[in-house]
Amino acid sequence: MTDNFGEEDVLPLFETKTAKGRAAYKLYCLIVLLGIVWIWVYRLVHIPGAGERGRYAWMAMFFAEVLFGVYWIITQACRWHVVYRYPFKDRLSTRYKDKLPGVDIFVCTADPTLEPPLLVINTVLSVMSYNYPSHKLGVFLSDDGCSELTFYALLEASKFSKYWIPFCKKYNVEPRAPEIYFAQNTDLNESNFARMDLYQDMKRRIDSAGAKGCIPEEIKDEHKGFSEWNSRITKQDHQSIVQDNRFRCVQYPQRYSNVTKNDVYANVSNATIQIELAGLDGFGGTLYIGTGCFHRRESVSGNYEKGTLWGKEMGLVYGCSVEDIVTGLTIQCRGWKPVYYNPTKIAFQGVGSTTLDVALIQFKRWSEGMFQIFLSKYCPLIYGHGKVKVGAQMGYCIYLLWAPVSLPTLFYVVIPALYLLHDVPLFPQVSSLWFVPFAYVFVARTAYSLVEDLMCGDTIYKQLGLSETSFAVTDKVVDDEVQKELGIWDHESLFFWPRGIGFVYGPNNYFWDDSYGEFASL
């Protein structure tokens, strides 16, 4: 009996499996690579002579195609050795039932306008309600915006948590964010209604303080923490404000609770989540994407940053708008082994971009920040040389090179069309054998991308741009494209709604009554 226990005690806690079909994929990569090489050969062999029309455009096309080919080779690092992790939960609970480690969870916010305090405290309340020993769970809110409104919302949340956390643990509530839970569960019993009333009361107080732009003086007098704020404090210039309100090794993909049917702003990134990040994990290069990530304390721990290596060799690496990526790279280069885990049950959910301008700003910041890393001393090809595998270095570069790859893409889209208008073709004729590698690479790459996206859960309609959307005439509350995406009708315009003997007519809620042959008020 002792021997059996000893054997159970040394069994692995998770299993790593390689994705199927890798041999066929490698053959596909080889054939596509041959096609790319033949395209390069065509450009070199048929380059126009000095003084001939289109010479410089031809040379620029060759340069763009070389960049495309090299970037495509780099992207194969994420698909060459894709692995998936499968934990044995029963072994984990048996072995560490009484030895679970302490966990500190950090919730970060920076702007009370773009990230409303109510949204922030819903996140805090959700993680406070985790099914984990309360004495081993610490939840911290880091507010770079230094907002007293956020601090006030946190105080309100601490009071509400006395009712919410026991409720969540007793009934195994999901989702644990109260705003989402009450929105999804309208059929509530009397006990649940009482908690919803408490939440709505708290919500009204927070919203009222936000509308006034200040915290009532009687509330400030109740808590000495508000004394830290004064008229000199701004978002950009403030001292460190630390309030001791503690609430009682691995990367998860970033998921969103507000993703719409057609996902017009590409929040989901199915291929990235299910294939690329898992492919990086195959080379031991799991990407730290800033949220849903567990670190061992030793991998980032330090005291106060002044006069220390904090921000350089310890903790988050400062000086870059995507500090998460460079922080993950430095941790790996110090010898820590990361893993990527994408569970069937979504572990964390956030809120994605809902308007075009916000989405563009987000991608712009990511692209600029990651290219900044590529040009810095933290470039994976230099900083990671000899410390992480070559496949992991290449995998990092896929994202770090987003910004520069846009330039040859723009050139390739615009220049051939302009030269064709002047009867200067930059591609071989269809009847030429040289047309074969161009056609093959295009068809093969497009077909594979379509198959990959379908395997990841996308639909062929979405890939071909044939999604079903409703019509919205004007922009009233949210962006016009979001209205189309969500299927929202503009209530101040004419619309039709079958209602038995007639239909609804806006904006004043009249309907046509067939029995009287006139419009009647609802």
* Active-site residue list: 144, 324
Helices (H) and strands (E) in the chain, counts: 21, 9
- Nearest partner of 113 among 239, 238, 290, 235, judged by Cα: 235
Say how many residues make up the chain: 522
Please report, for residues 83, 171, 192, 298, 338, the alpha-carbon distance to residue 331 in angstroms, rounded to integers and kept in the order given: 21, 39, 45, 10, 9
For residue 393, give Cα distances in angstroms to 78, 135, 266, 267, 373: 10, 40, 25, 25, 13
Here the tokens at position 111 are 């702007």
Which of 255, 380, 381 is closest to 325 using CA atoms?
A: 380
* Dist CA 10 CA 31 (whole Å): 44
DSSP 291: S
With residues binned 3-state (H G I as helix, E B as strand, rest as coil), the percentages for the chain, rounded to 5, are 50, 10, 40
- Contact at 8 Å (CB) between 505 and 512? yes
Q: Give the type of residue at 209.
A: A
Residue 48, preceding peptide bond in cis (omega within 30° of 0): no
DSSP string, 46-113: TPPPTT-TTHHHHHHHHHHHHHHHHHHHHHTHHHHS-EEEEE-HHHHHHHHTT-PPPEEEEEEE--TT
Query: Distance between CA atoms of 220 and 152, rounded to whole angstroms?
Result: 9
- Cβ atoms < 10 Å from Cβ of 24: 9
